[in-house]
Each structure stands twice: as structure tokens, then as C-alpha cells.
Amino acid sequence: MKTDKQELEFTEMARFAKAMSHPIRLQILNLLSKSDCCYTGDITDELPIARSTLSQHFKELKAAGLIQGEYNPPKIKYCLQSDNWEKAKKLFTEFFENSNKSSCC
Amino acid sequence: MKTDKQELEFTEMARFAKAMSHPIRLQILNLLSKSDCCYTGDITDELPIARSTLSQHFKELKAAGLIQGEYNPPKIKYCLQSDNWEKAKKLFTEFFENSNKSSCC
DNA sequence: TTTATATTTCGTATTTTTGCGAAATACAAA
DNA sequence: TTTGTATTTCGCAAAAATACGAAATATAAA
């Protein structure tokens, strides 16, 4: 029952999951998803983490396609990348929804 | 707006996400969630991966609390760990559901 | 007790992740 | 042009993830 399509989906979903596998990155995504767009600095003030480290987390979220940045000198406005965000939402939601409640253990 | 409770939730969710951050582990979870319980061997035959490596992936899923094993000599029957599976489902679903559709970029 | 089967643990190597401070970059304002 | 602000890149180190084959473990069956 393992189709190529499904295999690609798992690969993409794993990529999203990896991006979400760090508390700080989840906080960032949560902040971006709940409020409007925000600046990196806004988050730096709330987290006990070096700016360079935070920048790396942004970079990873960007590499995974979950966020995007808009240069608004001298700041950068980060937002969710809607398309991929919706894609991730769909992948995770369906992944959990399709689960069978029947357990044999 | 960052509560301790929410911080703990992000930590736990990150743990689940990390467990789900590998295509093979997603395939395992998918198999366990869709069909009834299965044996490790069932999956080994379908994946191009050494048995010892697969065993490690099972170990990680177990460590994250997403699956559990029942010894049924000489095989092991792996199943989802319902409580944590539901917890993960809830965390991810709410995480994506709470997102604001409004984007500013 | 020996043999066969299923799975895990061990040892090892390679790659990736995480984190930091210092330096570099980019741009606006003085 | 110099200064200030926001952010990234660099260089480094430590830890964790990934993968494999060989050896070990556990149990049922012969």
C-alpha cells in the first residue's frame, strides 16, 4: 500500500516535522500564526537565547518553507508562508485523522 | 502571553515532532495507525533499511511515547500508545487550527 | 539440547543540530 | 560620511542523529 506519492508526502511531512521539532521554533510559529507578522527582535526579547541563535532558527524555518521574510529596513518582518503552512496543516491533520481508533494492545 | 503551561506544551510537542521528523518513522506510525498492530518484520520487508536501523527507529518512537511494544515471542507486536497519540493529535491539531488566516506579507 | 527465528544492543563512522560570541552586512538617520 | 540599529554570517565546539554489520539475547520448535 506504499505508493510513491505517499512516500513523497512522508518526506515532505518529515521536513516540516523537523522544522517543528524545537520548542523555540514552535514558539516562533505560534507567534506568527496567532498574531500578525512580527519582527525577530520582538521574539528575542522574550526568549533566553542569543540573537545569532534565534537567527539560525528563523533560517531553518525559512529553509523548510514555513515562513518568509520581508525586508523592512533595518528590520525584517517575518510571516508564515501561507501555502506551505496550509500544506503542513493538511498533512498533519490528515495523518492524525486517518488513524484507526482500534487498538489491539 | 507566554505561560509556563504553554512552554511545557511546546516542549512536549517538539518531542513528538522530533519523533515524527523522519520519513521512515512516519511510515511506521502510519502503518500502525491505519491497520491493526503489526510486527517489526512486516515493515522491514517493505523498507530498504537494515533491521538494526529499523529497530533504532522503533526505539525512538517508543522513547517519545508514541508507540508501545508487546512481546509475542519470538516477535514483538508494536502498537500506537493511545494516550500519547491522542495527545499529539490534539497538540498538532490545535496548533494549526489556532492559526490566523490573516497574513500581512 | 540444539536449531531456527525475531529483535536488540554494541561498536563505529559520518553527518547534522544546537549554541555562542565576534565580526560582517545593510540601511536609515544624524 | 559617520553613527546607530537590526540582523546575519562565520568559526568554533559539543552533542545528537543516522546508519550499518556483527554479536548478543530471548524464546519456540525440533
Residue B21, CA: closest nucleotide via C1'? D17
In this predicted model, what pLDDT tens digit does every residue of B76-92 receive, in sequence order? Answer: 999 999 999 999 999 99
Q: Which residues lie closer than 8 Å to A92 by C-beta, 6 or more apart? A: A13, A16, B92, B93, B96
A17–B14 CB contact, under 8 Å: no
Is the pLDDT at A1 greater than 60, yes or no? no
- Where does the pLDDT of residue B3 fall: very low under 50, low under 70, confident under 90, or very high at 90 and above? low
Please give the pLDDT value at position A104. 61
A14–B20 CB contact, under 8 Å: yes
Residue A15's nearest CA partner among B26, B15, B94 is B26
Q: What is the DSSP letter of A50?
A: -
Average pLDDT of span A60-81? 90
Is the pLDDT at A41 greater than 90, yes or no? no
* Set of chain B residues whose Cβ sits within 8 Å of the Cβ of A93: 92-93, 96
Predicted TM-score (pTM) of the model is 0.92
- Of the candidates B26, B77, B103, which has its C-beta nearest A80's C-beta? B103
Residue A22's nearest CA partner among B33, B17, B66 is B17
Q: Which residue of A has its CA nearest to B80?
A: A103
A23–B37 CB contact, under 8 Å: no
